[in-house]
Structure formats: structure tokens, C-alpha cells
Amino acid sequence: MRRLRLRRALERWSPSRDRRPARFLAATAAATVLTLTASGCVTVHGELALLPPATKTEAAQALADFTTAYNRADKAYDPALDSERVTGPLGEINQSGLRARQINTPGGNPDHKPLVLSDARFVLPRKAGWPRWFVADTASNRGAGDQRWLLVFVRNGPERLWEVAYLTILPGGDVPEFSEEEGYAVPVAADTDALAVAPEDLGKEYVAYLKDGRPGPFAPGTHTTQWRAERQKAAKRPGMATQYIDRVADQGDFAPLGLRTKDGGALVFFATRYFERQTAAKGYRPKVGPDTKALLTGEIRNTVTREWVSSQAVLVKPAGTDRDGVTVASRLQGVVGAEGS
């Protein structure tokens, strides 16, 4: 499936487009993504009642199970050890990274430091049917300062395990206050008309913005205006042409998820996928790092195409906000495939 996506991406570029010089500049950011399912009385397997996804005790156990599996996988560089505890955008990034490191360092991680997640606060939205989901807002022993890790747990049925679909890392002061009804968080419907942009449209709008940069719902910032400027600046590098194809990723555990905030807006997590193609001048080859090389199919003669998964956490203002209605608070991305030609 990944090779098919890469092949289709390659077919979208024409020789005339290759004349534009550019290079890839990966903007890394602490981002997170949540996935969004519709709230309200939805009939799934005959279930109509609005129910919390889990008790706080069950949520705490899910967090502990994830942390244990993550640490085992990171120590051994073995994707099989946490494959049942990750899914969606985080899952694809995590599993691809572990596969690459397993190839490059088969003896495991010599610098492993166990991840510790503490001071957990659980945000539990009620909804009908499956899947169900919740957010764990935690402190961690990674990074500096007052950072909070927001992990979005998804469960697709009563016999399924809790899996983390999105991870967002935010300064503590940037985590919004969430609305509550009867003591539970309030999910927002994918097609709601109460927000400046409906969650189901965020991927489409973001992809369109990255392509043409036209003013619209996205506020200026690191992951909008600055990222586009970095791409354009990189395009001026002599001897290397770089093009991008951005795609919406919103199916299954990649679906957008959102929570109502007390200001009338929402915190929404959504994912995109993009292909970054580098073509070197005659007589040269694009350089790739060891992790990309480990995921590489084909042979690099003068071109390499990387496939990335990118997850965004955004603050969306209420409906009626025509400009700057969506602020991208963070973004997490990772290479999940590469092809040489």
C-alpha cells in the first residue's frame, strides 16, 4: 500500500515541475493530533446512549499499559512490542521509526531512557457507540519547562485494546480549558457548523493552504506562514529541486477528533500526509539519513521521494470568524516511507 501511494505521488509530478529549484527543510514541532468522531446520538451496533469512554481508573490503566509497551519497544527498537498500543498518525510514525532504528541498530537502543508520564488529568468525552476515545493530559520526563503531553486514546470495540492515535506536546499555559456537561468533556461533531471550520474540513483546508497560501482560516505562525516560507526558501537552493504533494488523511483512526473549549471554540486534532520529492542536478544524488535509508525502496540515481505523516493540533474559533479562525498550536511529523529513482 505504501509503495502504491509513493508511485501515485511520483506520477503527479511532470518534468516541467522538476525545473523549480528547492530543497526539503523539515520543520519539527511539538505537535499533536486528536481524531474526531461525531458526537450525539449515533446508532452503532444498536447503541444509542451517551456514555463516557472509560472510568478514570480504566483510563489510568490504559496510560500505564501504553507507557510500558512504549518503553519496551524503545529499549529494544522492536515495533512489535508496542504495535497493539499505537494507531493512527502516531502509530504509523512510531512503527516506521522503530523499523528503521531496528535495521540500523539491531542490538537495541543504547541510550534508552524510560519515558515517565505523571500528573495525569483525564479528559473523558461522552458519546454513543464505537469508537470511543479520551485524552490523557500528562507531564513527562522529556523536554524542558512546563510541557504537557496530550495523548489521544482510541478504542474501536469492547474487545479491543486502548491505543494512542495522536500525541501533542504543548506548553502548560497553552492547553485550553475544556467545556463540560454533567462532569464530562464535550466532543464536537465532525460536520458541526458551530466552528469557523468544521473538523472534517480541516485537512482539506490545510492542504489547500500549503499549496497556494491564499488568505483564509489559518492564522500566521510556525506551521502555516513560516512553514510555507521555509519551503519557498529551500526552493532556491542550486542543484536541487524539491516539490511537495500534500494529501488529506482522515479515514479510520486518522479521522479528526475535537473537544469543545470554554471559549466556545474547540481543540481539534487532524492528520495529513505529504510526499517530498528531491531531484539532484546531473551528476549528483540526493543525500538521505540512515533512518530514511532504512525505509528506502528502489535505488537513488538522482531522485528520492519521502512519504511523511503529519499530525496537527489546532485551536478553532467559533463560527463567524472569517480570518485567522484556526491556529495551529503544534505539529508532529515523521518519515514513514521512501523511494529512490
First-residue to last-residue Cα distance in the chain = 18
- pLDDT grade for 48, boundaries at 50, 70 and 90: confident
State how far the alpha carbon of 263 is from the alpha carbons of 137, 316, 339, in Å.
Answer: 19, 10, 45
State the burial class of residue 200 (Cβ atoms within 10 Å of its Cβ: 0-12, 13-18, 19+). Answer: buried
CB 269 within 8 A of CB 249: no
pLDDT tens digits along 141-190: 998 889 999 999 999 999 999 999 999 999 999 999 999 999 999 999 99
Chain CA centroid to CA 285, Å: 30
Mean pLDDT, all residues of the chain: 89
Q: Which three cell numbers stand for residue 269?
A: 486534532
Q: Which three cell numbers stand for residue 55?
A: 472510568
Per the DSSP assignment, residues forming a β-bridge with 340 are 298, 304
Higher pLDDT pick, 234 / 87? 87
Pairing of strands 296-298, 326-340: parallel
pLDDT tens digits along 196-218: 999 999 999 999 999 999 888 99
Write the DSSP string, 277-337.
EEEEPTT------HHHHHTEEE--SSEEEEEEEEEEEEEEPBTT--SS-EEEEEEEEEEEE
